[in-house]
Amino acid sequence: MGQRHFHSQDKELLEEAAVIAEEMTFDFFKLSPAHWRRPRYDILTLEGLSREEISPHAHALVAKYKGCPPNSSLQSAWFDFYRVCLQDHNILKTLEATPALSLFPLLLYIVTHELVHVIRFSQFLALFEAAETEKAREETRVHQLTQKILAPLNLLDLPPVIRYYS
Ligand SMILES: [Zn+2]
């Protein structure tokens, strides 16, 4: 795979961005760390993705899977889990083409946005398998929520990111 991917410095920024994104998003939805409705998910970069999880154009996507606890064959024990699949190659391409953007606020926005998707899927506020028109409407809603969630941070680097997505 000859795609460009994040290096260790980028991944450090991602870790920082993910910590803030999680805190802001779970606070916004009032989900404490122990909350039973807190969804299970992972945040992955390109190196950790399987072929079906790689997009030629998106900055990130959410994949949904069914999990089963070890040693349990009970249907009721199965749970949903999500993989937030960051598309390093597309994010790096956008950064190169858009000098107003920088990696940290872009990652903060992207991770927050994908977490909003995950929470809304897990609470059935949005359907994972929806028609295209509904998906487009949900996308607009998720962008609005993302901006609302990040607004209290008052990050100066954020307005260019919001302009980029609108
Ligand atoms: Zn989205």
Residues 102-152: tens digit of each pLDDT: 999 999 999 999 999 999 999 999 999 999 999 999 999 999 999 999 999
Question: What pLDDT shows up at residue 67?
Answer: 85
Read off the pLDDT of each residue in 30-38 and give the average, rounded to a whole number. 85
Residue 1 has pLDDT above 80, yes or no: no
Confidence (pLDDT) at 128: 93
Token digits of residue 32: 């404490």
Residues 62 and 85: beta-carbon distance below 8 Å: yes
Residues near 37 by Cβ (< 8 Å), separated by ≥ 6? 31, 122, 123
What is the structure's pLDDT at 68?
83
Question: Ligand 1 center to residue 36 CA distance, Å?
Answer: 24
Looking at residue 65, its pLDDT comes to 95
Residue 32 alpha carbon to ligand 1 centre in Å: 23
Confidence category of residue 35, pLDDT binned at 50, 70, 90: confident
Ligand 1 center–CA 75 separation, angstroms: 30
**Cα(114) to centroid(ligand 1), Å:** 6
Rounded to an integer, what distance in angstroms lies between the CA atom of residue 84 and that of residue 100?
25
For the stretch 79-102, what's the b/e string if a residue is b when 16 or more beta carbons lie within 10 angstroms of its beta carbon? eeebbbbbbbbbbbeeeeeeeebe
pTM here?
Answer: 0.93
Dihedral in degrees, nearest 10, Cα atoms 11, 159, 28, 129: -70
List of domains in the chain? 8-161 (3.40.390)
| pLDDT band for position 33 (cuts 50, 70, 90) | confident
Cα(58)–Cα(86) distance, rounded to whole angstroms? Answer: 9
The per-residue pLDDT for range 36-69, each reduced to its tens digit, is 888 999 999 999 999 999 999 999 999 999 988 8
